[in-house]
Amino acid sequence: MYLMLPTIMHVRGRISLSLLTFAFFLGFHSCYGQSVSPVFQNLVDSIIKVAPKNIIGLTEPLKTFEGDTLAMRYLNALALKRNYSEGQAFALNQLGIKYRNISHYGKALELHQQALKIASDANNIEYRVMSMNLISFVYQKLDTIKSALDYSQEALELAESQANPSQELKRCINQSLNSIGNIYKTLEQYDLAIAKFNESKQLEEELGMGLGIAENLQNIGECYEAQGKLESSLTNYEAALASNQKINSDRIKIISNMGIAHVHVHMGMQAEALERLLMLLPLSQAFGDQQIISMIHINLGWTYLQLKKYVEANDHLNLGLAIAEKYGLPSELAQANTYLHDLTYRLGDYKRSLDYYKKAQEIRKEISNDRNRTYVADMISGYERQKRSNELEVLGKQNEIANLKLRKNRTTLLVSGIFILLLTGIFYILYRQNQLKTEKKLLTLEQSMLRSQMNPHFLFNSLNSIKLYIINNDKKNAVHYLNKFSKLVRKILEASSQKEITLAEELQTVELYMNIEDIRFSYEIDFKVQIDEDIDVQQVKIPSLILQPFLENALWHGLTSKEGVKKINLHVKSGGVGFIEISITDNGVGREAAEIIKEGRVLKRKSVGIDITKERLANFSKDFQNSFKVEIEDLYDENDNASGTRVNLRIPTI
- Residue 460 has a pLDDT of 65
Distances (CA, A) of 302 to 218, 315, 527, 547: 21, 11, 37, 34
Distances (CA, A) of 128 to 77, 86, 112, 461, 558: 20, 10, 10, 82, 74
What superfamily does domain 290-374 belong to in CATH? Tetratricopeptide repeat domain (1.25.40.10)
Per the confidence metrics, is the pTM higher than 0.75? Answer: no
pLDDT in tens, 227-271: 999 999 999 999 988 888 888 888 888 988 999 998 999 899 999
Pick 323 or 436 by higher pLDDT: 323
pLDDT in tens, 154-187: 888 898 888 888 888 888 888 888 888 888 887 7
- Residue 444 has a pLDDT of 58
Q: Is the pLDDT of residue 314 over 90?
A: yes
Q: How far is it, in rounded angstroms, from Cα 336 to Cα 355?
A: 13
Residue 339 phi/psi, 5° resolution? -70, -35
pLDDT in tens, 511-524: 988 888 888 788 88
Quick one: pLDDT band at residue 31, thresholds 50, 70, 90?
very low
Selection from 225, 232, 203, 201 nearest residue 215 by Cα: 201
Transcribe 439-487 into DSSP letters. Answer: HHHHHHHHHHHHHHHT-HHHHHHHHHHHHHHHHTT-HHHHHHHHHHHHH
Quick one: pLDDT band at residue 448, thresholds 50, 70, 90?
low
Q: Which residue(s) pair with 647 in the sheet?
A: 584, 632
- Residue 442 has a pLDDT of 55
Characterize the bridge pairing of strands 500-502 and 525-531.
Answer: unpaired
pLDDT in tens, 360-400: 888 888 776 644 554 555 455 555 555 555 455 556 566 66
312, 304 Cβ separation under 8 angstroms: yes
> What 8-state DSSP symbol labels residue 3?
T
Q: How far is it, in rounded angstroms, from Cα 245 to Cα 539?
A: 47
Average pLDDT over residues 79-100: 92
pLDDT in tens, 132-161: 999 998 888 777 777 888 898 888 889 888
- Residue 19 has a pLDDT of 40
Q: Cβ contacts of residue 546 below 8 Å, gap of 6+?
A: 506, 613, 616, 617, 649, 651
**Where does 188-288 sit in CATH, by number?**
1.25.40.10
CA Rg, the chain, in Å? 33
Q: How far is it, in rounded angstroms, from Cα 232 to Cα 222?
A: 10
108, 67 Cβ separation under 8 angstroms: no
Q: Is the pLDDT of residue 217 over 70?
A: yes
Q: Three-class SS of residue 542?
A: strand
Provide the sign of the torsion angle of the four alpha carbons 112, 258, 224, 337, taken in this order.
Answer: negative
Average pLDDT over residues 470-492: 81
- Indicate the length of the chain as a whole number: 654
Q: How far is it, in rounded angstroms, from Cα 593 to Cα 591?
A: 6
- Residue 278 has a pLDDT of 93
Neighbours of 323 (CB within 10 A): 25
Q: Where are the alpha helices (DSSP H) in 161-189?
A: 167-186
Query: 106-115, 333-342, 390-399, 435-444: which has the minimum mean pLDDT?
Result: 390-399
Q: How far is it, in rounded angstroms, from Cα 602 to Cα 620?
A: 37
Q: Cβ contacts of residue 161 below 8 Å, gap of 6+?
A: none
Quick one: pLDDT band at residue 563, thresholds 50, 70, 90?
confident
By CB atoms closer than 10 A (0-12, 13-18, 19+), residue 574 is middle
Q: Is the pLDDT of residue 634 over 70?
A: yes
Q: How far is it, in rounded angstroms, from Cα 115 to Cα 130?
A: 9
Characterize the bridge pairing of strands 579-586 and 642-652.
Answer: antiparallel
Q: Which residue(s) pair with 571 in the sheet?
A: 530, 583
> What 8-state DSSP symbol labels residue 558?
I
Pick 635 or 393 by higher pLDDT: 635
Q: Three-class SS of residue 389?
A: coil
**Which secondary-structure segment (H or E) carries 489?**
helix 475-496
Q: Which residue(s) pair with 525 in the sheet?
A: 566
Selection from 359, 297, 347 nearest residue 322 by Cα: 297
**AA letter at 219:** N
Q: How far is it, in rounded angstroms, from Cα 148 to Cα 610?
A: 50
- Residue 413 has a pLDDT of 72
Distances (CA, A) of 365 to 184, 317, 327, 360, 578: 18, 21, 19, 9, 18
Selection from 285, 277, 264 nearest residue 312 by Cα: 277
Domain 500-652 has CATH 3.90.1300.10: no
Q: Which residue(s) pair with 645 in the sheet?
A: 586, 634
Say how far residue 76 (Cα) sits from the centre of its chain. Answer: 42
51, 84 Cβ separation under 8 angstroms: yes
By CB atoms closer than 10 A (0-12, 13-18, 19+), residue 30 is middle
- Residue 377 has a pLDDT of 52
Average pLDDT over residues 283-307: 91
**Whether the domain at 32-162 and the domain at 188-288 fall into the same CATH topology:** yes
Q: Is the pLDDT of residue 648 over 60?
A: yes
Domain 32-162 has CATH 1.25.40.10: yes
Q: Where are the alpha helices (DSSP H) in 521-624?
A: 548-553, 591-600, 609-621
Provide, rounded to the nearest whole percent, the portion of the chain with pLDDT above 70.
82
Provide, rounded to the nearest whole percent, the portion of the chain with pLDDT above 90.
26
Q: Three-class SS of residue 569?
A: strand
Average pLDDT over residues 318-336: 90
Selection from 277, 299, 209, 221 nearest residue 249 by Cα: 209
383, 153 Cβ separation under 8 angstroms: yes
Terminal-to-terminal C-alpha distance of the chain: 39
- Residue 590 has a pLDDT of 84
Neighbours of 170 (CB within 10 A): 17
Distances (CA, A) of 216 to 79, 220, 253: 34, 6, 13
533, 496 Cβ separation under 8 angstroms: no
Domain boundaries, the chain: 32-162, 188-288, 290-374, 500-652
